[in-house]
Structure 1
Amino acid sequence: MYEDRKEHALQAWEKLLEKPESHMNAQEQHEELVRLADEYFDEGFIDGDERAALLGRAARAYANVVEGADDSLIDPAQ
């Protein structure tokens, strides 16, 4: 039972990482990923190392989006 709940929770986290809800911007997606990682840690689904790994992945995904957004603001004609 516990492993099923953990697996379901991590699948939900992965789904949000790969495909955020349509109403979410990058910051909201990142905040929700962090919130879920903290919740899973608090509930005992994951340990500190797993939490750190999730937070690292969320941070890298957010940075990639932000860097991509910054690049799109550059006018190639300049």
Structure 2
Amino acid sequence: MYTEAKMLAYSTWHELLTSHKTAMKPEERYNALLELADEYFNRRIIDSSERNTLIEVATTAFTRSFAEL
């Protein structure tokens, strides 16, 4: 079920993932994404499966950021 809190959480997480407006190093962005996934899970906004998916997406993006260098 998608609650307003979950939609806002996903929106915020996706913005951090895709935004290039912030001058974050790939490691900083990756750590921030993992922290958000953990925060959302701990606040019970997302379940463990959704948390794992966010971690997988963040890891893939982090890995690709080095392939682009």
Provide the TM-score with structure 1 as the length reference.
Answer: 0.80
2:34 partner letter = V
SS state at 1:59 partner: helix
Partner residue in 1 for 2:43: 43
Unaligned runs of 5+ in 2: none
RMSD over aligned CA atoms reads 1.4
Considering Cα pairs closer than 8 Å and 6+ residues apart, tell me whether 1 or 2 has the greater RCO.
2
The percent of aligned pairs where both chains have the same amino acid is 32
Residues paired across the two proteins, number: 68
Cα distance per residue 1:45-69 (max 9 Å; x no partner): 0101000000000000000001222
Partner residue in 2 for 1:67: 67
Partner residue in 2 for 1:9: 9
Unaligned runs of 5+ in 1: 70-78
Cα distance per residue 1:10-39 (max 9 Å; x no partner): 100011111145221111000000000000
Which is greater in Rg? 1
SS state at 2:3 partner: helix
1:55 partner letter = I
